[in-house]
Amino acid sequence: MDHQDVFNKIMEQCTGSQVMIYSDGSVCGGSVGCGACAAVLFPACDDDNQPQVETLAVGSKVSSFECEVEGVLLGIRMALKYFENCQYRNPVEYVFIFSDCYAAIENIESMKVNTRPDIFIKIQDLRHNFLHSQSTMDVI
């Protein structure tokens, strides 16, 4: 099964029942430059909420990779905020975060403190908060 088939299967199973977030990051003017990211959160179907969109300026001398990672982290923060404000919750909530950057996904899943301490600390803090919110997250 290729990546597109996996994505389509997840979409079929999750649409309307799970929180899904799409993230992206980009740099203007080359491999390093002014960068930003965005994330869109689609609530579960039983919510009357519309999709939520947030953007973030990452920096003026950043790489596309940094912007992609910050986009995923923005999505995680959005999910935490969503569950804090959610009136009705299941005992365990599942969140799927979609990114088009495999390197960002791989680095978030296996980030080491000596690689990028700044990003590592952010990821660890968000993972800790996610565990306390009784939620499960998959970055795809």
The CATH number of the domain where 110 resides is what? 3.30.420.10
Domain count, the chain: 1
In a domain, 125, yes or no: yes
In a domain, 35, yes or no: yes
Per-residue pLDDT at 83: 84
pLDDT in tens, 82-139: 888 876 666 677 888 899 998 888 888 776 666 677 888 888 888 888 777 767 777 7
In a domain, 6, yes or no: no
In a domain, 10, yes or no: no
In a domain, 4, yes or no: no
DSSP state letters, 19-85: EEEEEEEEEESSSEEEEEEEEEEE--TTS-PPPEEEEEEEEEEEEHHHHHHHHHHHHHHHHHHHHHH
In a domain, 12, yes or no: no
| Residue-range definition of the domain harbouring residue 135 | 18-139
Q: Kindly report the pTM of this predicted structure.
A: 0.83
In a domain, 29, yes or no: yes
pLDDT of 46 higher than 60: no
In a domain, 45, yes or no: yes
Residue 137: strand, helix, or coil: strand
Strand partners, 40: 22, 53
Q: Where does the pLDDT of residue 3 fall: very low under 50, low under 70, confident under 90, or very high at 90 and above?
A: confident
